[in-house]
Amino acid sequence: MGLLEGKVAIVTGAGRGIGAAEARLFSEEGALVLATDIQFRSNLQEIDTASSLLMMHHDVSESESWKIVVDIACSHFGKIDILVNNAAIARYGTLFDQSQQDLENHFRVNQLGTFLGMKAVVPSLAKTKGCIVNTSSIAALRATPGVFGYAGSKWAVRGMSKNAAVELAPLGIRVNTVLPGMIDTQMMRDAGEEAAAQYEQLVPCGRIGTPEEVARVVAFLVSDRASYITGAEFKIDGGLYT
Ligand SMILES: NC(=O)c1ccc[n+]([C@@H]2O[C@H](COP(=O)([O-])OP(=O)(O)OC[C@H]3O[C@@H](n4cnc5c(N)ncnc54)[C@H](O)[C@@H]3O)[C@@H](O)[C@H]2O)c1
């Protein structure tokens, strides 16, 4: 029996990278998964014959878009047990060269998107005693110059997650946070090969991580095996920020 047998999960930003690995692994572990991404063109696209993994277009920064996602999960799968707020953007730049628009863009997708997602699923999760995993970053553990708007938004995700964990615990809803380090996805590649190679040399484990290595931690956190874990933060960085 899979780790997530009988669970219904929503994973945002599942078009590629870490979110795609999470959606795939959850499905392999027996969950019914609604994978959403702004890149997905169709409103609802069935991608396997058993309909256990669905993909739909979704902009996490739009509250109306969240209503549709929740409606589809409930009407197609009957309930929601799990939300993984994974979608994010990262644009490189310092305080000096990022504009107000850059900051607002990071706020809208990374912070507001996480906030709207939590709000949208709370009524459903209260019924199933479900759980949320929010995706922060090691950029929210200490100063990370060069990703000004991104780092600020990821600190905000940490803060919101802690408050939500305490506020939602009486409803039986768990909220945890993952903080990936350098993971081999398009987002990391956008930093440029030189920056990636420099960081890699600093990682005690001697290599960058894979999306699957993050997905495995998240799968544990959303499973019943983590039933007494809430308000916790899991750094997945090969020891980089130790
Ligand atoms: N890759 C890393 O090294 C790293 C490190 C720390 C944290 N993270 C975090 O992990 C998560 C996944 O990152 P990734 O590396 O897979 O990134 P990625 O850029 O490869 O994938 C992000 C996905 O989010 C989607 N997305 C962007 N804006 C959206 C929106 N408004 N609505 C819905 N979907 C949207 C994109 O289309 C994309 O498919 C992010 O929260 C990121 O901040 C990644």
Look up the CATH number of the domain holding residue 89: 3.40.50.720
Q: Is residue 42 part of a domain?
A: yes
Q: Is residue 2 part of a domain?
A: no
Give the C-alpha separation, 84 to 131, whole Å. 9
Give the C-alpha separation, 52 to 32, whole Å. 5
| Beta carbon of 24 within 6 Å of any ligand 1 atom | no
Q: Is residue 241 part of a domain?
A: no
Per-residue model confidence as pLDDT tens digits over 111-169: 999 999 999 999 999 999 999 999 999 999 999 999 999 999 999 999 999 999 999 99
Looking at the CA of residue 59, tell me the nearest atom of ligand 1: 32
Q: Is the pTM of this model over 0.75?
A: yes
Residue 11's H or E segment, with its range, is strand 8-12
Give the C-alpha separation, 21 to 13, whole Å. 10
Nearest to 31, CA basis, from 87, 80, 85? 80
Domain interval for residue 15: 8-236
Q: Is residue 242 part of a domain?
A: no
Q: In this predicted structure, what is the pLDDT of residue 49?
A: 41
Distance 2 CA to ligand 1 centre (A): 26
Q: Is residue 59 part of a domain?
A: yes
Per-residue model confidence as pLDDT tens digits over 217-226: 999 999 999 9
Helix (H, G, I), strand (E, B) or coil at 224: helix
Catalytic residue among 150, 199, 228, 241: 150
Looking at the CA of residue 184, tell me the nearest atom of ligand 1: 1
Give the C-alpha separation, 181 to 198, whole Å. 14
Q: Is residue 73 part of a domain?
A: yes
Look at the chain and report how many structural domains it folds into: 1
Mutation to probe ligand 1, out of 10, 37, 208 (largest number of atoms < 8 A from CB)? 37
Q: In this predicted structure, what is the pLDDT of residue 192?
A: 86
Low-confidence residues of the chain, pLDDT below 70?
43-51
Q: Is residue 185 part of a domain?
A: yes
Is 92 a residue of the active site?
A: no
Looking at the CA of residue 109, tell me the nearest atom of ligand 1: 31
Q: Is residue 189 part of a domain?
A: yes
Query: In this structure, what DSSP letter does residue 9 have?
Result: E
